[in-house]
Amino acid sequence: MTRKKSFFDFIAENRFIHILFSIILGFLVGAIFLAVMGLSIGAAYGRLLGSVTSLKGFSYVIVYAVPYVVAGLSVAFSFKTGVFNIGAEGQFVVGSMAAVCTGILGASLPKPLLIPLCFLAAMAAGAVWGIIVGVLKTKWGINEVLSMIMFNWIAFYLSNFIAGIPAIKNEGTAEATKNISENASMLFSKDFIKSAGLAPTANWGFIVAIIVTLIAWFIIEKTTLGFELKAVGSNRFAAEYGGINVNRSILTALAISGALAGLAGALQVMGMGKRISIFTSQEGFGFAGIVVALIGCSNPFGVLIAGLFYGALMYGGSKLNLEGVPTQLISVIVGTVVFFIAISVIFNKFSGIHFGRERGANGGALKAADKKEEKK
Amino acid sequence: MAKQYVDMNTPVIEMRNIVKRFGDFVANDGINLTVHKGEIHAILGENGAGKSTLMNQLYGLLKPTSGDILVNGKKIVMNNPRDAIDAGIGMVHQHFMLVQPFTVTENIVLGTEPTKGVRLDMDTARKNVVEISERYGLSIDPDARIEDISVGMQQRVEILKALYRGADILILDEPTSSLTPQEITELIAIMHNLVKDGKSIIIITHKLKEIKESADFCTIIRMGKYIDTVDVDQVDENDLASMMVGRKVTFKVDKPEQTPGDVVLDVKDLHCLDYRGIEIVKGLNLQVRRGEIVGIAGIDGNGQTELVEVITGLRKGTSGQVLVNGTDVFNKSPSFGFAHGVSSIPADRQKHGLVLDFSIEDNLILQNYERDPYAKNSVLQRGPIFTHASQSIEKYDIRPSGSEKRAAGTLSGGNQQKVIIAREVQNDKDLLIAVNPTRGLDVGAIEYVHKYIVDQRNKGKAVLLVSFELDEIMSLSDIIDVIFDGRIVASIPGGEANENDLGLMMAGGGKKA
C-alpha cells in the first residue's frame, strides 16, 4: 500500500529540510538577480562566504548575530504562546534606550553592578512595553497587532526624544546620545582582541545569548509556566476550562517576550553600538527577530542557529559592494527564504502526506482529512 | 418498511470499487454502492470508517483514487460540487450552511436567484419556493428569517434548497443529530414523501433505530472496507451494530439499584444571560445527590448550555446560588470550582476538552500540571507524567496504544473522548458533569462512555448528564429533569419516562410537575 514518496512528500515531512530547501531557493533567486544584472554569481557568493569564514569574519558574524538571536527568541516565545509579538521592534528600542541611559547615568558604578543593572533596566522597559499592549488586549479586547505597531512608533519617537535630553545627548555635534560608560561595556579587552585577531567589537554578548537561549528553552519545554502559556496559545478555551487564568497567561507571555526584546536592545548597545543615534527610520532589529524566529521554527536552538545565519548574511552582505554587488541582494535572499517558509502549504498540497501523515487507530487521519476537505 | 417506491430496475447511483487514498492511508478500500430510484439507502459505519469520505466523493468534494461513479447509468467525473449539482445530486450537511439574517426564500434561491433584468425577482422566487414546499409536503413559512426558526425547520430549508436546484438524489449527513423526537418523525415522513415522488435518498448515520424506521437498504462500512449491503427488513438493530463494529455490542446499561445520598450539587434560583445579553436561565432550581445520575432533557437553546457554563465557572450568572458540597461556586473561576469538587466532560471536546496540539500525556494533566508528582518546584516531571499517561491509556483503552507522546488531534473522536473521560474520572471529584458525552461517537465508543458514567454513579459520585439524545437520557438517568425556557419544568424518575411525554414537555407542552 505504500506509495513511492515524492519530492514534495520529503519536504513536507521534515521541517528542517523544508527550511534548508527554502534557504537554497533564496540563494537561487539571488543568483537569478545577479545574472540579470550581469554580475558574477561566483564572485558575489564567494565574497559572501569568504567574508564570514575567516576567524575575524566569523567573530564579526557572532557580534552581529547576538541581537538577532535574542530578538528572535522574543518573537519565538510569543509564537509558542499564541500571541504574535510584532512589537518586538518597539520593545527593542525602549530596551536599548533604557540600557543606554543606565549606562550613561550610572557611570560611577562598578562594572559587575552596572552591567546587570543595564540588563534589568532594558528588560523592565521591554516588559512594560509588552504589558501595556497586553492590558489593552485583555481588558478591552484591542487587537494586539494594531497596538503593537503603534507602540513601535511611540518607542521610536520616545527614543529620539530622550536622545535629545541634555543629560543624555552627545556633547559634540553628533545627533546621538553620549557613549555608555566603559563600566557598562561588554567588549573583550583590547589586548585580547588584538592578540586573538578578532573583530574590534567582539564582546561577551554571545555568552548571554546562549544562556538566554537555554533559559527560554527551559521555560517553554520544562516548566509549568511554559505548559500553561503553550496551552493558552494552542487552545485558550480548553486552557480556561482546565482552570488556567488565560488573561494572566497572555500578560505573562507578553511581558517575557517584551523583556527578551528589551534585552536584545541592551546587548546591541552594550556590545557594538555604544550609543543610540537620533534615527530617521526604524532600525528593524525587532522585525528581523520575526524573520529569525520563522527560520528557526520558533525553537530556541533553531533560533540560535537562524540568528547566526542572519548575522552572517548581514555582515557578509555589507562586504558585497567590494564586488560591485548592491547590498540589497541580501534583502532579496532573505525575502525569498521567508516567502518559501511561509508557503509551506504548497508543499503540503503537492505531497498529500499532510492528510495521511498522522494516523489514528481507526482513521483519525481520515477524519482530519475530511475536515480539511470540507473547509474547501 | 415496504419498498413500495423502490424501482429496482433503475439504479440512479452506482459507485464501483471506490478506492480513496490520503498519502499511504486508505480511507475507502473498494467500496460498492448502488442506489435505486425511489430508495432510501443508509450508509452505516463507525466514526472514521469512511462514510463521509465516500459521500464527499459522490458530491464532488473529493476525487476517488480509483473506481467509477455512475449517475443514471452514465459514468461521470466530478471535479467540484457544481458538477454534482448539475448531475442532480444534492447534499444536506450536518452543520447547516444557511445565512442567518436572510429569509427562508432568500436562502433557498441563494446563488440561483431569478432575476428581472438586473433586479432580483423575489416574487417569482417566493412562488417557486411555495410550490416546491407544497409538492413535497415540506410546509414552511417562506418569509421567516432563519434565525427565528427551529433547527428542524432549518433542515427543511436545506432540503428545499437542494430540491430547488433540481436534486433527484439527496445525501443527508447525520440528519437527526440535533432534532427532537417529533422532528425526527416529521423528517422520516418527509423522506417518504420524497421517495414517493421518485427521488432517492442516501442518509449517513450511526443511529440504528432510524435506519430501521426509514431505510430500505443499508450499506455497512468498517475501517474503510465494504462489509455488506443488507435489506433493512431482514436484519435487526443488533445485527447492524455487530456488522458495524465487528463484534457483539450490548445496548443495555447495567445499573444496579441504589439509594442516593447527600445533595452534592444544589442550584438555587439561578439566572443568567446568553451571549446576546438576553436572559436564558430564568430562576432554575436543580439538585443532584450522591450516587445518582440526573439527566437534563431539553431542546438545544433552552438554557442547558448556559447552566453548565455557570456551574463550571465559564460564564457569569446574574443571580442565584450554585452550591457544591455546601460551597458556593457561583461566579467563581473554573479552577475554584475544580478545587471544590466539579469535574466535567464538556460538550465540545475539541474546543473545551482538549488542547489538540498537545500530546495525550499533557492533555491528561491539563488541570493538574502544577501538582505533585507532575511538577516539582514549577518544573514538569516527565517521568511521572508519562507513567500516568501509560496507565490511563491502558486502563481506558485509548487507541492506538503507545500514543503517550502523540498529539491529541491525531486521535479519532471516540479516543479523544476517552482521553477526556480518563482525565475527569481520575480527577475523582464529587460532581461529574457530562454534556453530550457521546455526540458523534459510534456504538462501540458510546457503550464505553456510558459504562464509565454509570461507574461514577455506582461509586457514589453525583452525575449531571446533559444530552440532546433522549435515548441516552432515558437509559442512564435516575431522575430526568426536563428543561424548558430556562427552568426545570418537570422532574420524573428515570424508569417512568416515555419518549413521547418527554418530547412534549421539552417543547413546552404536556404535564408539568
- pLDDT tens for A326-365 read 888 888 998 898 888 877 655 655 544 333 333 333 333 3
Residues of B in contact with A376 (CB under 8 A): 61
**How many Å apart are CA B70 and CA B16, to the nearest integer?**
8
Name the pLDDT band for A10 (thresholds 50, 70, 90). low
List, by residue range, all CATH 3.40.50.300 domains of chain B: 1-88+168-249, 263-506
In chain B, residues with a C-beta closer than 8 Å to the C-beta of A242 are 334, 366-367
Q: How many CB atoms lie within 10 A of CB B77?
A: 10
For the stretch A17-59, pLDDT in tens is 888 888 999 999 999 999 998 888 999 999 989 989 999 999 9
Could you please report the per-residue DSSP string of B136-178?
A: TT----TTSBGGGS-HHHHHHHHHHHHHHTT-SEEEEESTTTT
In angstroms, the Cα distances linking B379 to A221, A255, B318 are 9, 20, 39
CATH architecture for the domain at B263-506: 3-Layer(aba) Sandwich (3.40)
Residue A178 has which C-alpha cell? 553620549
**Chain A interface test: which of B19, B21, B22, B418 (most A C-beta within 10 Å):** B22
Residue ranges of chain B whose pLDDT lies below 70: 1-2, 250-252, 510-513
Q: Alpha-carbon Rg of chain B, whole angstroms?
A: 24
Cβ separation A365–B22 shorter than 8 A: yes
For B507, what's the count of Cα atoms within 13 Å in the CB-facing half-sphere?
15
Cβ pair B171, B55 in contact under 8 A: yes
Please state the length of chain A.
376
What DSSP letter does each residue of B219-232 carry, written as one string?
Answer: EEEETTEEEEEEEG
Q: Is B92 in a helix, a strand, or coil? A: strand
Residue type, B22: F
The answer to whether B53 contacts A369, with C-beta atoms less than 8 Å apart, is yes
Residue A368 predicted with pLDDT over 80: no
Residue A161: is its pLDDT beyond 80?
A: yes
Q: How many residues does this entry show for chain B?
A: 513
How confident is the model over A225-279, as pLDDT tens digits? 999 999 999 998 899 888 888 999 999 999 999 999 999 999 999 998 888 888 8
CB atoms near residue B212 (< 10 Å): 17
What are B285-341's pLDDT values in tens digits?
Answer: 999 999 999 999 988 788 998 999 999 998 999 999 999 999 999 999 888 999 999
Contact list, B413 vs chain A (CB under 8 Å): 367
From the list B24, B354, B399, which residue is nearest A238 (CB)?
B354
- Residue pair B122/B171 in contact by the 8 Å Cβ criterion: no
Q: What is the pLDDT of residue A322?
A: 85
The pLDDT of residue B113: 80
> What is the Cβ-side half-sphere exposure of residue B113, based on CA atoms within 13 angstroms?
15
State the pLDDT confidence band at A13, using cuts at 50, 70 and 90.
low
Give every CB contact of residue B124 below 8 A, 6+ residues apart in sequence: B114
pLDDT band at A373; cut points 50, 70, 90: very low
CA distance B134 to B155: 16
Which of A9, A223, A365 lies nearest to residue B410, judging by beta carbons? A365
Q: Inter-chain contact A366–B25, Cβ cutoff 8 Å? A: yes
**SS percent in chain B: helix, strand, coil, step 5:** 35, 30, 35
Per CB-CB distance under 8 Å, the chain A contacts of B345 are none
Residue of B nearest to A240 (CA): B334
C-alpha cell at B271: 439566572
Give the containing element (helix H, strand E) for B272.
strand B263-273
Q: In chain A, what are the helix, strand and coil shares in percent, each to the nearest 5?
A: 75, 0, 25
A245, A357, A363 member nearest B49 (Cβ): A363
Q: Could you say which DSSP state residue B392 is in?
A: H
**Residue A371, pLDDT above cutoff 60:** no
Closest CA–CA distance from residue A18 to any residue of chain B (Å): 18
A95 touches A261 (CB < 8 A): yes
For the B1-88+168-249 domain, the top CATH level (class) is: alpha beta
Q: Give the per-residue pLDDT at B350.
A: 84
Q: Which of B489, B454, B28, B382 is nearest to B221 (CA)?
A: B28
Half-sphere exposure (Cβ direction) of A175: Cα atoms closer than 13 Å: 6
Q: Which residues of A touch B411 (CB under 8 A)?
A: 360-361, 364
pLDDT of A366 strictly over 50 = no
pTM higher than 0.90 for the full model? no
**Among A61, A57, A102, which residue's Cα sits nearest to residue A276?**
A102
Mean pLDDT of chain A: 86
- Residue B489 contacts residue B512 (beta carbons within 8 Å): yes
- Residue contact A238–B351, C-beta within 8 A: yes
pLDDT at site A350: 55
